[in-house]
Amino acid sequence: MQIVRTDVSRTTASTGEPVLRVLFCGEGGDCVTVDMASIEAGNDDAALDRARAILVQTATFGLAANDYEARSNGNFDEIAITTASDGNEGVYIFEYRDGEGSRQVPLSRMPSFDAAREEAIRCAIDLLVDLEPGTDALTGWLVRVRDERGELLCAIDVEEAEAARQLRQ
């Protein structure tokens, strides 16, 4: 979907809780809404970055879209580039630790390397919640960021993610 408009608003969920809502509208009238339960102080650009990350994670982790994807090893034939910015950004590949292996998500456009690294830290913090002592390795990398050629730019490990999580609380 080619994004033609985005809206960021603060609203109330049906449960009565405040949510931050990001609406992505595409050509042809298709729209996707992302509601984020925890409203953090920040600007609309930060909300857009977080909403894009949620969409990428939702689209990448979970159920396969078809039988081919279910049988695939994660190397799909189609690569989609997503964006909701002015085109002056860089292209990054996010790689997430998945048990003993890893998963790469489709290319993402981010405003800068700093924005990509910050997104990697936010995602690593989210992954910390899923780690189980005694079952999962509580060391090593959680999220890696690569450039469009596949060159490693940074890796966020468990220790860095935990330190960032504690700092943000």
Top-confidence residue, 100 or 166: 166
Q: What are phi and psi of 120, to 5 degrees?
A: -60, -40
Q: How confident is the model at residue 97 (pLDDT cuts 50, 70, 90)?
A: confident
- Put simply, whether the predicted model's pTM sits higher than 0.85 gets the answer no
Tell me how crowded residue 72 is: count the other CB atoms within 10 A of its CB.
12
Check residue 47 and give its pLDDT.
Answer: 81
Check residue 80 and give its pLDDT.
Answer: 44
Q: What are the boundaries of each domain within the chain?
A: 3-168
Q: How confident is the model at residue 152 (pLDDT cuts 50, 70, 90)?
A: very high
Two tokens at 158?
């468990």
